[in-house]
Amino acid sequence: MANSAQARKRARQAEKSRQHNAALRSKMRTHVKNAVKAIQNGNKEDAQAAYSAAVPMIDKMARKGIIHGNKAARHKSRLNAHIKSMA
C-alpha cells in the first residue's frame, strides 16, 4: 500500500480513472455488440442504424485513448464490411 500522502492520492486517482475508463469501454462494447446483433438478424436498415450509432462511440474512445486507434479502425472496417456484404 502507498505510504506517502501523494502516493495515496495517486492510488485514489488511478482507481477512479480505471473505473471511469472501464465504464466507457463497456459502453463502446455494447454499441459494437448491438451492431453485430443487427447484422446477424439480417436486417440491413437496422444494422446500418446500429453501425451509425457505434461509429461515433468507437471514435470517441480512440480519441480519449481508451482503445488504440488501429483497434477502432479495425472494428469500424469489419462492421462496415459485414453490412456491405448483406443482401
pLDDT at 87 over 80: no
Backbone angles phi, psi at 19, to 5 degrees: -65, -40
Instruction: Indicate the pTM of the whole model.
Output: 0.87
State the chain's mean pLDDT as an integer: 96
pLDDT at 27 over 80: yes
Mean pLDDT of 71-75: 98
> In the CATH scheme, what is the code of domain 27-84?
1.20.58.110
Q: Is the pLDDT of residue 80 over 80?
A: yes
Average pLDDT over residues 67-86: 97
For 6, counting Cβ atoms within 10 Å of its Cβ (0-12 exposed, 13-18 middle, 19+ buried), the class is: exposed
The set of cell numbers assigned to 29 is 462494447
Domain ranges of the chain: 27-84
- Predicted confidence at residue 47, as pLDDT, reads 96
The DSSP letter of residue 38 is H
**2-21 pLDDT per residue, tens:** 889 999 999 999 999 999 99
Enclosing H/E stretch for 37? helix 5-41
